[in-house]
């Protein structure tokens, strides 16, 4: 192998290197969560290799792109992907636990982002709003999560903004769901089945949460095509349990957890090694995404959910100050929503 003359960020592959990458890929596919699919892919790759089907590939990125397309076509799994690195990849044991220094580094980086609780506030009309960019592990984010839920405890409706949330810890999903559901009986939220060990990890609501639970009040989750993984599970849980409405656009569709496998000095593959199984539906959102209860462009999702909350609260016929605030807020949110709709329509035409 050598660095590509036309592209310094690539390498030139010889037949021996391609065979090594393909052989390692065939072996590692034994860890793929769907054994029948893995066997089909393995047979196809071996046949192509024997027939010289990759003889016209010379670049590292070209091989990664070609194999990724083939893997995804045969599996229907957009998470199955071969990656190319111009720089040699380190040798890391996937099951090696991080040491104390690495955990502290991760904690400090997460703390600086406020554990991705980006915004917590009371919107007009006494509607709570939590903008959450990820689900950091509960050992990092638990106290901040409890503080956020305490801040919105006295609101009459609650909006979780997951439009830019890329996922994270299922344990934190379970903790947050616990605030929204009664302490007893516990609620079975999700299962994660790991094919490598033939084990299933169940996730349930917990009987104790710091502060007040947020019960018997409307809850909304905002989604977009960026919403992914654990954030999708949170929205899916709310929807399946009929605890909240999902407002926005269909999510990205990544339900099955996985990890990376080093194949070669310059190639690694990511593959799902586990499968999420919702105990109520027996399915998950992988590939399809979570389909919103109310489908609107992501740009208008917040105003739409806010308006839904205000109308719901007005239906309860509140009196006094509460009613006046709702009646004053409603037309302002309606105007804001109308303006965002007009802006979207105007932008369809592109720049003038």
| Per-residue pLDDT in tens (0 to 9) along the chain, 352 residues | 544 444 556 778 888 888 999 999 999 999 999 999 999 999 999 998 888 888 888 889 999 999 999 999 999 888 899 999 998 888 876 667 778 998 999 999 999 999 999 999 999 999 999 999 999 999 999 999 999 999 999 999 999 999 999 999 999 999 999 999 999 999 999 999 998 888 999 999 999 999 999 999 999 999 999 999 999 999 999 999 999 999 999 999 999 988 899 999 999 999 999 999 999 999 999 989 999 999 999 999 999 999 999 999 999 999 999 999 999 999 999 999 999 999 999 888 655 4
Distances (CA, A) of 212 to 125, 153, 183, 235, 242: 21, 7, 11, 21, 20
- pLDDT tens for 123-139 read 999 999 999 999 999 99
- How confident is the model at residue 15, as a pLDDT? 85
CA angle 94, 193, 187 (to 5 degrees): 125
Supply the pTM of this predicted model.
0.88
Is-contact 216 293, C-beta < 8 A?
no
Q: What ranges in 29-162 are assigned the alpha helix state H?
A: 35-50, 60-75, 100-112, 138-151
- How confident is the model at residue 5, as a pLDDT? 45
- How confident is the model at residue 57, as a pLDDT? 84
User: E strands within the chain?
Assistant: 2-3, 11-12, 81-84, 117-123, 127-132, 157-161, 188-194, 199-204, 219-223, 245-248, 258-264, 267-272, 274-277, 294-295
Neighbours of 196 (CB within 10 A): 12
- Residues β-bridged to residue 168: 135
- How confident is the model at residue 347, as a pLDDT? 87
- Look up tokens 């400090």; give the residue: 108
- How confident is the model at residue 310, as a pLDDT? 98
Report how far residue 81's alpha carbon sits from residue 72's, in angstroms, rounded to the nearest whole number: 7
Report how far residue 176's alpha carbon sits from residue 232's, in angstroms, rounded to the nearest whole number: 13
End-to-end CA, the chain: 49
């Amino acid at each position: 192998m050598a660095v590509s003359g036309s592209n310094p960020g690539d390498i030139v592959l010889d037949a021996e290197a391609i065979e090594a990458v393909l052989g390692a890929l065939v072996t590692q596919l034994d860890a793929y969560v769907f054994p029948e699919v893995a066997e089909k892919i393995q047979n196809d790759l071996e046949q192509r290799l024997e027939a010289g089907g990759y003889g016209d590939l010379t670049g590292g990125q070209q091989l990664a792109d070609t194999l990724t397309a083939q893997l995804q076509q045969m599996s229907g799994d957009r998470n199955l992907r071969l990656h190319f690195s111009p720089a040699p990849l380190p040798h890391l044991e996937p099951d090696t636990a991080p040491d104390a220094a690495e955990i502290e580094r991760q904690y400090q980086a997460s703390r600086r982002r406020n554990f991705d609780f980006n915004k917590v506030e009371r919107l007009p009309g006494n509607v709570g709003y939590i903008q959450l960019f990820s689900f950091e592990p509960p050992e990092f984010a638990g106290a901040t999560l409890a503080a956020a839920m305490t801040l919105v405890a006295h609101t009459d409706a609650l909006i979780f903004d997951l439009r830019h949330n890329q996922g994270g810890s299922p344990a934190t999903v379970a903790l947050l769901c616990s605030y929204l559901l009664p302490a007893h009986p516990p609620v079975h939220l999700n299962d994660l089945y790991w094919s490598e060990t033939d084990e299933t990890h169940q996730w349930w609501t917990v009987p104790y949460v710091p502060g007040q639970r947020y019960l018997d009040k409307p809850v909304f989750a905002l989604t977009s095509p960026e919403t992914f993984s654990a954030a999708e599970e949170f929205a899916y849980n709310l929807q399946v349990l009929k605890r909240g409405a999902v407002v926005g656009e269909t999510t990205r569709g990544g339900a099955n957890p996985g990890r990376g496998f080093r194949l070669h000095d310059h190639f690694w593959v990511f593959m799902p090694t586990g499968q999420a199984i919702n105990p109520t539906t027996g399915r998950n959102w992988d590939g399809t995404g979570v389909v919103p209860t109310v489908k609107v462009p992501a740009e208008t999702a917040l105003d739409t959910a806010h308006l839904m909350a205000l109308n719901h609260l007005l239906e309860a016929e509140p009196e006094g100050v509460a009613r006046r605030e709702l009646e004053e807020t409603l037309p302002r949110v309606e105007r804001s929503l109308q303006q965002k709709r007009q802006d979207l329509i105007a932008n369809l035409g592109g720049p003038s």
